[in-house]
Amino acid sequence: MARTLILMRHGKSAYPAGIEDHERPLAPRGKREAALAGTWLRAKQPPIDAVRCSTATRTRETLAATGITAPVEFEPGIYEATTDYLIELIGLTDPAVSTLLVIGHAPGMPWTAWDLAAQHDTEDAIGLSRKFPTSALAVLRLPGEWDQVGPGAGDLVTFHVPR
């Protein structure tokens, strides 16, 4: 059974004085673009069965702004995750899940999307390699089970920047 993995970078954050990076909230633009991402997800992608989200304030606010209501696991390790960590985390996904949304940060989200993609010469892959802006979404189709996910295992079918 093919799986759908959606990797999303959090919305544009604000930089209030005296706030640690992990606690930075979304800026108004971030809320607006995350809402647009949610609208796009509901219109263009399969229903999301599960979400894994960083514990950072801006990622939690991004999830809330999307309006996605699937069961959520908040994962502190996504905050400064490496590609290896994210691939391992994706591999632990319940086999009953067919569409997984992961909300995190750069460089983890773009690097993981790049590493999982089998082809790097498509228009979407080239766009992703140039810039993975806030609220951007990389959608990959993965054959087989979640625990078989690894570098080059998927097809990057869409790279979307909600604006």
The contacts of residue 84 (CB under 8 Å, 6+ apart) are none
The pTM (predicted TM-score) of the whole model is 0.97
d(CA 117, CA 64): 28
Q: How confident is the model at residue 87 (pLDDT cuts 50, 70, 90)?
A: very high
pLDDT above 70 covers what percent of the chain?
A: 100
d(CA 83, CA 88): 9
With a cut of 90, say whether residue 11 has pLDDT above it. Answer: yes
Determine the pLDDT at residue 1: 79
Which phi and psi (to 5°) does residue 49 adopt?
-90, -30
d(CA 16, CA 20): 9
Average of per-residue pLDDT across 63-91: 98
Note the pLDDT tens digit of each residue in 92-138: 999 999 999 999 999 999 999 999 999 999 999 999 999 999 999 99
d(CA 158, CA 75): 25
The contacts of residue 92 (CB under 8 Å, 6+ apart) are 146, 147
Note the pLDDT tens digit of each residue in 44-74: 999 999 999 999 999 999 999 999 999 999 9
